[in-house]
Structure 1
Amino acid sequence: MESGAKFNIFSFTGKMKVLHASWVAFFITFVVWFNHAPLMQAIANTLGLSPQEVKTLLILNVALTIPARVVIGALTDRFGPRLVYSLLLAISSIPCFVFAFSDSFMQAAIARFAMGFVGAGFVVGIRMVSEWFPANELGTAEGIYGGWGNFGSAAAAMTLPTLALLFGGDEGWRYAVASTGVICLLYSFIYYRTVRNTPKGSTYFRPKNVGAMEVTSKGDLVFLLIMKLPMYLALALLTWKLSPAGIDMLSDGVAIGIYVGLVALYVFDAYKVLQVNKNLFKEPVPEIHQYKFKQVAVLNILYFATFGSELAVVSMLPLFFSDVFGLDMVYAGLLASAYAFMNLMSRPGGGWISDKFGRKKTLLILTAGLALGYLSMGLVTSHWPLWLAVAAAMACSFFVQAGEGAVFAAVPLIKRRLTGQIAGMTGAYGNVGAVTYLTVLSFVSYQTFFLVIAGTAVVGFITLLFMEEPKGQMAEVNEDGTVELITVN
């Protein structure tokens, strides 16, 4: 690992070149993933969408990312981030083009659902960056990767409406959306030619099996099976929302078929987990190779509250400002983009603070701030001065995104060869949060929506008390059988 080279954000060689190439890849995935949000009014007019169909597209957009992040995380550990990221970018351009030129709600809905695949790109870069940076720089590096990449949603909000106007006409949005697909496809080749999986002389540690996550005790095996349930329940919740009980996009027969399929998938998933970990019933794992799954579980819950709320709030904030303060959609969208704009400094800031002052302490402070931030958002009414409401949103945004940076400062310090799988599961929990919060929003007022998020942040704070500060070294086995110790603090 190039731990000796200085951390210089203006350098474009060695580990810094890999960091810059990776955050740009992530940035492009977010531009593509949220290319519909700022153009929703024009899209709705062209395709004749009802308000309920618009809300459905918002939920569909984040649904597939739940299983995709888990699968892509496992593939990254097995085949390496260079190949997986390049292929993901290339393949994601296809549903982007389909959405751009769809002419019915059903076509747009299927394309938008498939677009959730591009949201899995995040976990690939987490493993890539962890290969190139030492523990004392990892939070900062992962924060820059995540924060500058996440800014893609704000960049889409600021540029795509203008691009649609330049293309002109009622169909301008189509070419604006399609142009993001072209960039995505072109960058897939650039990324493949620019990066390597590891620095020269370093080993790329692969899991013994990519079929399921390895754990190191019987108790953790049960814990893993329990923590997998919310991912399936979120997809069941989405199915219910699309069934006749919700917006009637799916028939009862199709909905029941999906429920049965989800149960079957969970059973198969549990079987694979037991297969991969069957050695636990024969002999205990040597202490040097053990890790505690509770560390993963705590980070999952925190990412549910942080990234889950960010995805949900980015989707609804323009409508919130428009409805509460009676603003036109362009002005409301501009004010709402301030929330995502905070990513540029907040997420790297959270990672940096975590590097300097410790993982657990940083997360406790940021999670408390998160709960108070959303509590204040829940108190916003039309009687508030507009500047104060925007200031509350931006303060809340700081704690949300700094919290995300602090979560992923800890993820790569649990078990190196499983980093993709752990990042995949934690990342998927962010999308479970988004689906949950957006579904809650369809039943309650804006104020209650924000208070629900504040409540889940309090739950996150309580679970954090059980997390252990990463310290010492983690052991990985080289291909020749020798053990390598990796410092984590």
Structure 2
Amino acid sequence: MSDPSFRLLSFQGKTRILHLSWMAFFISFLVWFNHAPLMATLREQFGLSDAEVNTLLLLNVALTIPARILIGMLVDTLGPRRVYALVLAVSGVICLGFAMATSFQQLAISRFLLGFVGAGFVVGIRLISEWYPARELGLAEGIYGGWGNFGAAFAGLSLPALALAFGGDEGWRYAIACTGVIAILYAGVFYLLARDTPKGSTYFKPKKGGAMEVTSRGDFVLYGLMNLPLFIALALIVWKLGPANLAMLDTTTSYLLYALVTIMMAGQFLRIWQVNGHVFRQPVPAFDRYPFKQVALLNLTYMASFGSELAVVSMLPLYFLDTFDISPVLAGLLGGSFALMNLVGRPGGGYVADRWGRKLTTLITLAGIAVGYLLMGQITSDWPLVLAVALVLFCSVFVQAGCGAVYASVPLVKRRLTGQVAGMAGAYGNVGGVVFLLVLSLVSPALFFVVLGGFALVILALVGLFMDEPDPQTSEVLPDGTVRMIEVS
């Protein structure tokens, strides 16, 4: 890890891990969003109502909220190699189930379960942080996130054409099934070739599992508060699917699911106390502390960036189809253009964060997100299509760069908690996806974009007031009890 060069075209050492990781993430997002560019076909073949379309969009991001928290804990404990291979293999099988669905109910169940694959992103964040030094970490995480996230755009660019190539009414099934087969095969490749750490390095693990460690009484309270939106988002999904709204769940099922969410929340708060209750009895040593406010601000920033991206990528193909007089294939291609900028936006955001500072980069990207969405709220059918697409790309650059800036900071909070910090930030991205998709179901697309821009402005103010740059050094306790200082700048 002392090698100062960044050899992107190599397939040795840390660069091999980078390439293996972004490809795993690429495939996970290809599977996760393989339905979006084909939604017009699904709507026609299954005779889906607008309510059923919205249900599928919501279900696609629902499971990812708890899954990212769970996967963050597992990767910190079991290591990235085994966890990523597991995520890819399981999601590949579920994807095949979605391709074979013959009813809306089967589509809904398999789409809900496929939210599990969205948690794979967390694994690579921890893995990359084990192989790259801090001076290269933002760029490396940006490449991982950006090139991997391009899987969503690639789905939009390739799957409609692939479905046409297969032909017939079943073409969409074969196109989606292909992505599941790819995920299963790559799970084996990743398990065989990836390694958790460089040779001789220590893989730091949390002292306790089940909840993130915090290091002060104030952080304990803030951590508890930051857990609430995760469960509120799940309850909102139940409410939206319940008899008062989309009527996809009956009253009894809704109450049972509300009870389940409540039990999960109670269990989580109990575990938080079990892991962190000691902070009320004795102070944590100064060398082992970290400011949880950093985690909270990264969560909210990722909600404004990736959360909005989840919602926009899900709705954009149909938005273009309904706003402009174009074909479903072209609508899918243009809808995928929002995620296209992942190729340069996330690496760019990470690179700038490495060079100019994490806080400044985050502020710039949030400002760009706000301006971009507020302008998108002004698009109408009278606009030239080229101008609308250009504005979408402009906004996307800042959205992706914001994601890159967040994950340039995540590994610098506390090394042994990187998976959990990444998991919580990632879960907030999905909370954003759920909340913003609910907003979309209640308002016009124009007002939806305005809401996204306004939310980014609020987070911009919070980051400006409260975010800190990472300390020059952090510390971790080795298994033998000795303390190792780690340079982070």
Q: TM tier, shorter chain?
A: over 0.9
1:480: Cα distance to partner? 1.5
Answer yes or no: is 1:474 the counterpart of 2:463.
no
Aligned position for 1:170: 169
Aligned position for 2:351: 352
1:5: Cα distance to partner? 4.8
Aligned position for 2:220: 221
Aligned position for 2:369: 370
Instruction: Please say if residues 160 and 329 of structure 2, whose CA atoms lie closer than 8 Å, have aligned partners that are also in contact.
Output: no
CA distance in 1, matches of 2:440, 2:431: 14
- Aligned-residue Cα RMSD (Å) equals 1.0
Answer yes or no: is 1:80 the counterpart of 2:87.
no
Question: Unaligned stretches of 5+ in structure 1?
Answer: none
TM-score, structure 1 as length reference: 0.98
CA distance in 2, matches of 1:374, 1:37: 21
Cα deviation digits, residues 287-315 of structure 1 (max 9, x gap): 00000000000000001110011011111
Matches within 5 A, 1:195-206: 195-206=194-205
SS at match of 2:442: coil
Given residue 90 of structure 2, which amino acid in structure 1 is its aligned partner?
I
Aligned position for 2:96: 97
1:47: Cα distance to partner? 2.6
Q: Percent identity?
A: 59
Aligned position for 2:24: 25
Instruction: Please say if residues 70 and 428 of structure 1, whose CA atoms lie closer than 8 Å, have aligned partners that are also in contact.
Output: yes
Aligned position for 2:485: 485
1:173: Cα distance to partner? 1.1
Instruction: Please say if residues 77 and 419 of structure 1, whose CA atoms lie closer than 8 Å, have aligned partners that are also in contact.
Output: yes
After alignment, is 289-298 or 389-398 more displaced? 389-398
SS at match of 1:130: helix
Aligned position for 2:400: 401
Cα deviation digits, residues 244-267 of structure 1 (max 9, x gap): 111101001111111122122111
Instruction: Please say if residues 138 and 351 of structure 2, whose CA atoms lie closer than 8 Å, have aligned partners that are also in contact.
Output: yes
CA distance in 2, matches of 1:83, 1:337: 31
Aligned position for 1:132: 131
Given residue 187 of structure 1, which amino acid in structure 2 is its aligned partner?
Y
1:331: Cα distance to partner? 1.9
Aligned position for 1:329: 328
SS at match of 1:277: helix
After alignment, is 108-117 or 174-183 more displaced? 174-183
After alignment, is 39-48 or 376-385 more displaced? 39-48
Matches within 5 A, 1:177-196: 177-196=176-195
CA distance in 1, matches of 2:422, 2:110: 25
After alignment, is 125-134 or 475-484 more displaced? 475-484
1:3: Cα distance to partner? 2.9
Given residue 283 of structure 2, which amino acid in structure 1 is its aligned partner?
P
CA distance in 1, matches of 2:330, 2:20: 33
SS at match of 1:484: strand
After alignment, is 16-25 or 245-254 more displaced? 245-254
Answer yes or no: is 1:383 the counterpart of 2:411.
no
CA distance in 1, matches of 2:107, 2:168: 20
Instruction: Please say if residues 69 and 428 of structure 1, whose CA atoms lie closer than 8 Å, have aligned partners that are also in contact.
Output: yes
Instruction: Please say if residues 46 and 171 of structure 1, whose CA atoms lie closer than 8 Å, have aligned partners that are also in contact.
Output: no
1:335: Cα distance to partner? 1.9
CA distance in 1, matches of 2:362, 2:468: 12
Instruction: Please say if residues 37 and 317 of structure 2, whose CA atoms lie closer than 8 Å, have aligned partners that are also in contact.
Output: no
Instruction: Please say if residues 215 and 221 of structure 1, whose CA atoms lie closer than 8 Å, have aligned partners that are also in contact.
Output: yes
Aligned position for 1:414: 413
CA distance in 1, matches of 2:262, 2:70: 18
CA distance in 2, matches of 1:278, 1:340: 42
Instruction: Please say if residues 38 and 332 of structure 2, whose CA atoms lie closer than 8 Å, have aligned partners that are also in contact.
Output: no
SS at match of 2:382: coil
Instruction: Please say if residues 21 and 124 of structure 2, whose CA atoms lie closer than 8 Å, have aligned partners that are also in contact.
Output: yes
Aligned position for 2:237: 238
1:54: Cα distance to partner? 1.6
Given residue 480 of structure 2, which amino acid in structure 1 is its aligned partner?
D
Aligned position for 1:51: 50
1:111: Cα distance to partner? 0.3
Cα deviation digits, residues 132-183 of structure 1 (max 9, x gap): 0000100000000000000001111111122222222101111111111111
Aligned position for 1:265: 264
SS at match of 1:475: strand
CA distance in 1, matches of 2:175, 2:329: 17
CA distance in 1, matches of 2:331, 2:188: 37
SS at match of 1:151: helix
Answer yes or no: is 1:340 the counterpart of 2:339.
yes
Instruction: Please say if residues 223 and 292 of structure 2, whose CA atoms lie closer than 8 Å, have aligned partners that are also in contact.
Output: yes
Question: Unaligned stretches of 5+ in structure 2?
Answer: none
Aligned position for 1:300: 299
Answer yes or no: is 1:111 the counterpart of 2:110.
yes
SS at match of 1:442: helix
CA distance in 1, matches of 2:304, 2:113: 24
Large movers: runs of 4+ above 6 Å: none
Given residue 432 of structure 1, which amino acid in structure 2 is its aligned partner?
V
